[in-house]
Structure formats: C-alpha cells, structure tokens
Amino acid sequence: MPTRAEIDSLPLSPAHKARLLCRHNLVETTSGLAGDYVQANLIVLHSDYSNDFRMLCARNPVPCPILGWTPVGDPRKIIPTSPDVSVIEDSDFDIRTDVPYYHIFHTVDDDSYEGGKKVIIETKSNLLSTWTDNHIAFLIGCSFSFEQALTQSGLRVCHQEDSRTVAMYQTTIPLLPAGIFHGSTYVVSMRLYKPDEIEQVRDVTRPYSASHGEPVAWGWEGAKLIGVNDLGKVDYGDAQVVREGDVPVFWVCTFPPVSPHVEPHALFFMVADERIGLRRNTSIRSRKSA
Amino acid sequence: MPTRAEIDSLPLSPAHKARLLCRHNLVETTSGLAGDYVQANLIVLHSDYSNDFRMLCARNPVPCPILGWTPVGDPRKIIPTSPDVSVIEDSDFDIRTDVPYYHIFHTVDDDSYEGGKKVIIETKSNLLSTWTDNHIAFLIGCSFSFEQALTQSGLRVCHQEDSRTVAMYQTTIPLLPAGIFHGSTYVVSMRLYKPDEIEQVRDVTRPYSASHGEPVAWGWEGAKLIGVNDLGKVDYGDAQVVREGDVPVFWVCTFPPVSPHVEPHALFFMVADERIGLRRNTSIRSRKSA
C-alpha cells in the first residue's frame, strides 16, 4: 500500500491524488484536497428508486443539483448531466473506493419507534461488498466552490475563521415531494455577515447554480421565516461565534437522504458525507452563465 | 369586428379561435376554450429584469416552469424553452392583444405604506400602448392539464363540481430568491380528496412537470407544515365545501408576481391572470418523461 507522501509526489491531478488517498484509506475527509477541482456529494440508490430520485432533483434543483451519475451497476464510469462539462476519466476510477467513507442506511423493524421502523447507519471505508448490479450513484453539487469565491472576494467565511464545521439547520421548508421521496424539509448552512455585506454575498454566490447558488434567507426575520429560531441549536455541524452586528445568512444544502419523515422503503441510500474531487472548476464555470 | 359566432365557425384550431376571441375582447376568460391545447400564464417584464427572472424560474421550476418567451421587444413570436415542442405559429399572433386582459402593476410613492411604496394595478384589454422595445413576455405552465387528467382518471375536481374558483393560499414556503426577486412565498392551490385517493392523485399529476406536477403537501398535518391553518380563509379564489372525510391536497401554483415583500423596483410586471391557448397538449406530453 502506498503512503500519503508517495501519492502526493505522483505526477497526477490534485483530484486524482485525492481519489487515490481515499482509495487507500489515507484520509478521512477531502476538505482542502483536490485544489480548485469541484467536489461533489454522493448518493447511491437501488435503481428501482432512480426515476423518483431524478424527479426529486428536478423539482428541487437548488438543494440537489445532479452533476452526473453512473450507469446502473457500473461503479467505474460517470455520465455528466450536461455534455459540455468534463468528468472523471481516470481508468482506475471506482466510486466504491474513491470516497473517504460511506454511510449505509438500513431500515429495520423496531416497534419502539414511530411507524415501527428504525434507521440504522453503518459506516464503511468502501462499498466493494455492498454495491450490486442494481445500484446507481449520483454526484450532487456542493458548496465548496462558492466558499472559495467568497474568500476570493474578500468576504469572511466564519466557520473557516473559527476552525469549526459550518452550522447546519433543518428548516420548515418542505422539499417538493417526488414519488417515494416525501415528507422531508430543506437543510440550510449558515454563515454570518454584516447587513451591508449581504448584497455582495448574494451577488458572489448567485452564479454557482450547480452549488446551491445565492442564499434562501438572511437576517433575523429571514431565520424565523425558515424555522430557525435559535442559532445556537444546530442540527448538523458546529454552532458559530456570533459577533456584534452579525446577522445569519442561509444557503440551501443538499438534503440529508434520511429524515424521520421519509418513507422507510426509500432508505436504500448509501451516502458519504464527505466529498470527492470530481471535475475541474473551469468546466463548472462554463455552467455559470445561467 | 367579428362576432363570437363568426369566430367559432372559422376553420381554425381551438387555440387560434381562443386567441381571436381575446383579441376582439369577446371573452373574459379562456377557461374551457382552446380544447386540449395547453394554456399558459403570462408575465411581461422590462428586459433589465429578465436575467434575474430566468434565474428565479431555474431555482423555482415547480411554481414557475417557463414554456417559452418572446424575443425582446417582439410581441409576435414565441421561442419555446425546449426545441422539441411546437408553439404558436399563426402569422396574426400578438401577445399584446391575444390574452383576455392584462393587469399592469405600478409602484408609486406612498408614505402611508411600509417602505413608502404602494403597488397599484391597472387592468387593460390590450398592451398596444404599453409594450415597448424593451419588454419581454414569458409564458409559464399552468395546472389546466393536470385537472383534465384528474377528471379523466375518475378523480373529482372539487371546485369544478361546486362551480367555484379553485382555493388558493399564500404559504410560508419561501421562494428561492434570485437577484431582485426575493422575499416572496409560494402560493398553492387546494383540492379535496379522501385519504385513500391521495396516492392516485399524486401518481396522476406527477408526470405534468411543466404544469406544477404532483402535490407539495397533503392532509391536515401537511397543511400546517406549509402554513395553511384555516381552509376557509383563502387568499385567492373561493373557499371550498369540505365534505366529511375529505383532506386537503396542495399543489404549488405560479407565484403571484406582486407580493408586499418583493422589491418595488421589481414590479415591472404586466400580467394576465387568465390564460392563453398556447400549444398542443400532445407536444407537452413529450415533456412528461422526466
């Protein structure tokens, strides 16, 4: 097995190196890896659910912008959503191994839970024994790109300043249902700005249409509108330091695949909550002229 | 000027006849006209706002599915969103006259209103003196198609049974903002069904992706989630007769262009709240395989 130093010294793209580091279980996150390559979230489903999932994404393109998917059963190829973007083309690519780790959601019978079903989450470093000929993987845009754009525009990214994970909240905004996927609500990430910075923040992030784009709500009234009543009570990630004059700004996140409200038989997801270097920023940039 | 009987007897398509009836101010609504042709909502904007509006629609495709638009300043041509659908091709077509009537929204200074601005609405039978070389018209999908599909599937459409206008409610679901368009919430239409009919209702309406598709919420808990707490208090249309065992089912509507929260300078809309026969249902059907 190669060492991290050996992989780092290879004459490969930063994204390819990041995938190798994942494959050999040498990293637990791809945060900060893969240079200016776009990173993506991963959702793997039984193909029985892929039509409903595509519809879910079409109806909710901001939380769930599909960048590409695998052919059913083939973990080694990514088909891009748009023909004018480049995707992973390494001959050694394998979605079953090239992500830091995978959360596998199972539904089990348990009468002590509402509906008699309980979700258990198993974490694995690869999907080699889990993937079947019926699985399909979807790659979903993530907010990596716009965080870099904020920094490059001279705007703070509070969780980076304070070395915390971004604060995330489950809102009351319903995801528009599609078939078996229903009953869930939007998740938002939150960053703090001064009120007079908000228009610039909106302008900088608006073009990132494949990475959640501009905020959904801002300010204390905006927080109430989406059901966030206490910034200190995060649902995911870390609470942030709120400095005097700061107001919260909320972006839509990729929804978590499992919610207590989603039908139990929809829980065939296998998901990594980390990200995988996928394609060049430059090719995504061509998607920005929306 | 022709009479309604004269137009009805012409050897033209039902959609073409409906447009002629509008042009000569012989009808106040296109409801029930235009046969199985698809009908659309109309939004006209100053072209300065068209990029933000396209982004708004891209981020909110369910309330605002764009079917086509005019070239800037040209009221006689519709460019379809998708090249595989047919659109109005009559040589006499004119968006300024072929809609029953037009609501024109003006913002005026008024210190007695919040923000010092007030919206006034002027209604005209045509836009001949209003349209400029800077205007662009957008045609937006409407729920006509799925109502017919419900009836054809043997499902009730309560407001048709009771000869009322469909009930509509302003929800608490925020529209995802885009540029100058922000601060507004979804509007939903409501129809009543028995709980055991809901899965069929969802299945029948799901394929109508250019006409709002399947419901966003259903049942009394669903109503609360989207901020509808009293079915009797409609925001638009008529309250419905709720029969024993009925539960509400809510579909997303095209949002009203004017809301107290939208920025005053966004109010360059001219909108007909009636609909115009646009294209064949058959060509829309080709869009259903989402």
Q: What is the pLDDT of residues B231-248, one digit of tens each?
A: 999 988 899 999 999 999
How many Å is the Cα radius of gyration of chain A?
19
Q: What is the pLDDT of residues A178-196, one digit of tens each?
A: 988 888 889 899 999 999 9
pLDDT of residue B115: 61
Chain B nearest C-alpha distance from A257 (Å): 18
Nearest chain B alpha carbon to A207: B55
Task: Report CB contact under 8 Å: B61, A62.
Answer: no
Of the candidate ranges A4-13, A83-92, B89-98, the one whose mean pLDDT is the lowest: A83-92
- Burial call B243-253: b when 16+ CB within 10 Å, e when fewer: eeebbbbbbbb
CA B119, B123, B128, B129 torsion: positive or negative? Answer: negative
Give the closest residue to A283 by CA, choosing from A85, A112, A107.
A85
Q: Which span out of A145-159, B19-33, B38-52, B240-254 was modeled with the highest average pLDDT?
A: B240-254
* H/E element, A16: helix A14-23
Domain A144-252 homologous superfamily, CATH: PSTPO5379-like domain (3.30.2040.10)
pLDDT of residue A263: 40
* H/E element, A198: helix A198-205
Gap between the Cα atoms of B190 and B248, Å rounded: 6
pLDDT of residue A9: 95
- Alpha carbon distance, N-terminus to C-terminus of chain A: 44
Task: Report CB contact under 8 Å: B59, A213.
Answer: yes
Task: Report CB contact under 8 Å: B202, A177.
Answer: yes
Task: Report CB contact under 8 Å: A178, B58.
Answer: no
Provide the 10 A C-beta neighbour count for residue A244.
Answer: 5
What's the fold here for domain A4-142+257-285? PSTPO5379-like (3.40.1640)
pLDDT of residue A273: 38
Q: What is the pLDDT of residues B105-148, one digit of tens each?
A: 776 777 776 666 666 777 888 889 989 999 999 888 877 678 88
Residue B40: CB partners within 8 Å, gap ≥ 6? B67, B68, B139, B140, B141, B142, B275, B276, B278
Nearest chain B alpha carbon to A63: B59
Beta bridge partners of B272: B42
Of the candidate ranges A98-107, B63-72, B158-167, the one whose mean pLDDT is the lowest: A98-107
Cβ–Cβ under 8 Å, residues B255 and B207: no
- What secondary structure does DSSP assign to A256-278, as a single string? PS--TTS-GGG---EEEEEEEEE
Chain A nearest C-alpha distance from B87 (Å): 23
B228 touches chain A (CB under 8 A): no
Tell which of A81, A176, A186, A253 to mutate to test the B interface (max B CBs under 10 Å).
A176
Tell which of B57, B176, B209, B265 to mutate to test the A interface (max A CBs under 10 Å).
B176
Pairing mode of beta strands B117-124, B102-109: antiparallel
Domain at B4-142+258-285: CATH code: 3.40.1640.10
Q: What mean pLDDT comes out for the span A272-284? A: 36
Cβ–Cβ under 8 Å, residues B108 and B118: yes
Q: Chain B partners of A184 at a C-beta cutoff of 8 Å?
A: none
In which residue ranges of chain B is CATH 3.40.1640.10 found? 4-142+258-285
Gap between the Cα atoms of A173 and A187, Å rounded: 8
Give the closest residue to A283 by CA, choosing from A55, A81, A11.
A81
The residue assigned the tokens 């959904």 is A216
- Alpha carbon distance, N-terminus to C-terminus of chain B: 44
Pairing mode of beta strands A185-193, A247-252: antiparallel
* H/E element, A14: helix A14-23
pLDDT of residue B258: 46
Q: Which span out of A65-69, A106-110, B154-158, B265-269 was modeled with the highest average pLDDT?
A: B154-158
DSSP class of residue A116 equals: G
SS (H, E, C) chain B: CCCHHHHHCCCCCHHHHHHHHHHCCCCCCCCCCCCCEEEEEEEEEEHHHHHHHHHHHHHCCCCCCEEEECCCCCCCCCEECCCCCCCCCCCCCCCCCCCCCEEEEEEEECCCCHHHEEEEEEEECCCCCCCCCCEEEEEEECCHHHHHHHHHCCCCCHHHHCCCCCEEEEEEEECCCECCECCCEEEEEEEEECHHHHHHHHHHHCCCHHHCCCCCEEHHHHHHHCCCCCCCCCCECCCCCCCCCCEEEEEECCCCCCCCCCCHHHCCCEEEEEEEEEEEHHHHHCCCCC
Considering only CB atoms, B62 lies closest to which of A59, A202, A252, namely A59
- Strand, coil or helix: A165: coil
Residue A129 CA: distances (Å) to CA of A50, A124, A125, B35: 21, 10, 11, 56
pLDDT of residue A256: 56
A200, two tokens: 């610039």
Q: Chain A partners of B209 at a C-beta cutoff of 8 Å?
A: 55, 58-59
pLDDT of residue A119: 67
Q: What mean pLDDT comes out for the span B249-253? A: 94
pLDDT of residue A231: 97
* H/E element, A39: strand A37-46
B82 touches chain A (CB under 8 A): no
| List of long-range contacts for A28-36, beta carbons under 8 Å, 24+ apart | A28/A100, A28/A101, A28/A274, A29/A100, A29/A274, A30/A100, A30/A274, A30/A275, A30/A276, A30/A277, A31/A274, A31/A275, A33/A277, A34/A277, A35/A277, A36/A148, A36/A280, A36/A281
pLDDT of residue A244: 96
pLDDT of residue A240: 95
Cα dihedral A197, A201, A204, A209 in deg (nearest 10): -160
Gap between the Cα atoms of A151 and A160, Å rounded: 10
* pLDDT bucket at A113, cuts 50 / 70 / 90: low
B179, two tokens: 């540029």
- Strand, coil or helix: A177: coil
In which residue ranges of chain A is CATH 3.40.1640.10 found? 4-142+257-285
* pLDDT bucket at B165, cuts 50 / 70 / 90: confident
* pLDDT bucket at A114, cuts 50 / 70 / 90: low
Q: Work out the burial of residue B109: count CB atoms within 10 Å of its CB; fewer than 13 is exposed, 13-18 middle, 19 or more buried.
A: exposed
Nearest chain A alpha carbon to B199: A179
Provide the 10 A C-beta neighbour count for residue A135.
Answer: 22
Chain A nearest C-alpha distance from B109 (Å): 24
Beta bridge partners of A170: A187
Q: Which of residues 44-63 of A touch B (CB under 8 A)?
A: 54-55, 58-59, 61-62
Q: Which residue has the higher pLDDT, A39 or A152?
A: A152
Average pLDDT of chain A to the nearest whole number: 81
B19, two tokens: 């447009």
* pLDDT bucket at B84, cuts 50 / 70 / 90: low
DSSP class of residue A228 equals: -
pLDDT of residue B278: 43
Task: Report CB contact under 8 Å: B290, A217.
Answer: no
This complex has an ipTM of 0.83
Cβ–Cβ under 8 Å, residues A63 and A163: no
Q: What mean pLDDT comes out for the span A60-87? A: 87
pLDDT of residue A271: 42
- The amino acid at residue B247 is V
Q: What mean pLDDT comes out for the span B55-72? A: 92
Taking 50 as the threshold, does the pLDDT of residue B230 lie above it? yes
In which residue ranges of chain A is CATH 3.30.2040.10 found? 144-252
Q: What is the pLDDT of residues B174-186, one digit of tens each?
A: 989 998 888 888 9
Q: What is the pLDDT of residues A224-264, one digit of tens each?
A: 999 999 999 998 889 999 999 999 999 998 765 544 334 43
Chain B nearest C-alpha distance from A81 (Å): 13
Residue A24 CA: distances (Å) to CA of A89, A98, A121: 19, 8, 22
Task: Report CB contact under 8 Å: A176, B59.
Answer: no
Considering only CB atoms, A217 lies closest to which of B174, B206, B290, namely B174
Give the closest residue to A67 by CA, choosing from A12, A130, A144, A128.
A144
Q: Which residue has the higher pLDDT, B202 or B99?
A: B202
Q: Chain A partners of B216 at a C-beta cutoff of 8 Å?
A: 174, 176-177
Beta bridge partners of A193: A247
Gap between the Cα atoms of B290 and B207, Å rounded: 7
* pLDDT bucket at A58, cuts 50 / 70 / 90: very high
